[in-house]
Chain A
């Protein structure tokens, strides 16, 4: 409990110093708006419902991209993890696809899929794909050799070994990949909107910049941070639920 108190205390101290600093130096709102100003703007945006469609849109893009990227990453991770030949053939391509800065692809995607949701979702999916692929491959590869021999001894088929030994054993590692993907997904969605979006929180930041509306930019940052923390916490809860049987007896 002590640590949590400190966490909130630190936040309060930081905001207090910021507010005081703004008032004392009388700095322009354009450069650094005081927290009270940001809060007023944020409240206005939320209470008038002005921000809500943008929050929904970015949230939806993120979720769709996350689902598609993680789903495909998981399946590919299993296929590559199970077939050494495919892994050797395809892995260099996967690495290459990951070192390409994906956000640099956005202009191309705009050309192919137009402005808006499709391009953003595809970019987000591409970003989420790799952590799941990597962690799924790692998760199902590092199985206790004695447990593998146990399954051989019991005459388990390859599919049974996969679904009843490898995936359940690898689940903690796979879900750690999901947690990474969630964080990257929000970054991906927002930054893709910078370029490809007409609506959504990322597009709003660019619009606010155009209008030199710094308080609104800060308000949007607060919203994006809150959205990210919400998703992250939800992932932690989901992870705990999925692993509830793994965790029995570990005192967690």
Chain B
């Protein structure tokens, strides 16, 4: 079961520093899961195992029942930093995944322009990264991750460096984009409110293991002022207690 499946995955940095220790996890197609935990709990490493950027020391990762052994074009990855190339325009950055495979066609450019419009940057296609704000750079990075229409999107604290208001805007945009494409998402964060707002299910990690699981029963689509509802705060408190217990 599960569209993305992590089966007993472990990762040990040589010589014997085990950062991910026997994690089992499954995500259904179109579901949005968040991994929360303190710094150094192994959540980024787990994400890299799911991406095929690191090979698991034990266990395996499957996407649609096919084992993940190397980075796959079906998987989009958004890093902590926007990781845009300074010498390319926003449009060229979004097209990078395409242009590494072949010369971008008119249809590719159309798709990239559409994605830039969806993240609210239609007028900024010709700008270079340093001419954009931090939030705008993150938006370009998300558009780039989606340009090949991946089935799975893996995100490693992509909004951690942004101010609170920009972060909330990007969270709303991300939910909208992923819902419309039925993208399966695994999102790493240390921000409990972010996890509760975004996710269908939250995994609490500590010392390389998943210590607790929370199902988020908030209705979708999620409005921004959901954050002030009693249920939201209850869930945040529950997640916080789970983290403290772990």
Question: Which of A154, A245, A249 has the most chain B CB within a 10 Å cutoff?
Answer: A154
Question: Which one, B53, B86, B130, B132, contacts A153 given CB within 8 A?
Answer: B53
- For chain A residues 70-117, which have a beta carbon within 8 Å of chain B? none
> Chain B nearest CB: distance from A151 CB in Å?
8
B12-20, B77-85, B195-203, B238-246 - the one binding chain A: B77-85
Say yes or no: is A246 at the interface (Cβ < 8 Å to chain B).
yes
Query: Would you call B212 an interface residue if the criterion is a C-beta within 8 Å of the partner chain's C-beta atoms?
Result: no
Once the chains are docked, how many angstroms separate the CA of A165 from the CA of B99? Answer: 13
Say yes or no: A249-B130 contact (C-beta < 8 A), given A150-B77, A156-B100, A164-B100.
yes
Which residues does chain A contribute within 8 Å of B80, judged by CB atoms? Answer: 146
Closest to B76 in A: A153
Please give, as numbers and ranges, the residues of chain B lying within 8 Å of A152 by CB-CB distance: 53, 71
Q: Are B85 and A165 in contact (CB under 8 A)?
A: yes
Q: Do most interface residues of chain B lie in helix, strand or loop, or is the interface mixed?
A: loop
User: Chain B contacts of A150 at CB under 8 A?
Assistant: 77, 79, 83
A45 within 8 A of partner (CB): no
CB within 8 Å for A144 and B128 given contacts A152-B53, A152-B71, A155-B71: no
C-alpha gap A211/B100 in the complex (Å): 65
User: B128 to chain A: which residues have CB within 8 Å?
Assistant: 245, 248-249
From A146, A155, A246, B100 is in contact (CB under 8 Å) with A155
Range of interface residues on B (Cβ < 8 Å): 20 to 34
Contact string against A for B residues 87-102, beta-carbon threshold 8 Å, 1 for contact and 0 otherwise: 1100000001100110
Is the pair B131, A249 in contact by a Cβ cutoff of 8 Å?
Answer: yes
- How far, in Å, is B108 (CB) from chain A's closest CB? 14
Q: Is the CB of A144 within 8 A of B83?
A: yes
Q: Does A149 contact B (CB under 8 A)?
A: yes
Contact A153 B71 (CB under 8 A): yes
- CB nearest to A250 among chain B residues: B130
Q: Given the interface contacts A146-B79, A146-B81, does A248 sit within 8 Å of B97 by beta carbon?
A: no
- Residue A228 at the B interface, CB < 8 A? no
Contacts of A147 in B (CB 8 A): 83, 85
| A–B pairs, 30, beta carbons within 8 Å | A144-B81, A144-B83, A146-B79, A146-B83, A147-B85, A149-B53, A149-B79, A150-B77, A150-B79, A150-B83, A151-B100, A153-B53, A153-B71, A153-B75, A154-B71, A154-B73, A154-B97, A155-B71, A155-B101, A156-B100, A160-B100, A168-B85, A245-B87, A245-B128, A246-B87, A248-B130, A249-B128, A249-B129, A249-B132, A250-B130
Interface residues of A (CB under 8 A from B): 144, 146-147, 149-156, 160, 164-165, 168-169, 245-246, 248-250
Listed in ascending order, the chain B residues whose CB lies under 8 Å from chain A are 48, 51, 53, 71, 73, 75, 77, 79-81, 83, 85-88, 96-97, 100-101, 127-132
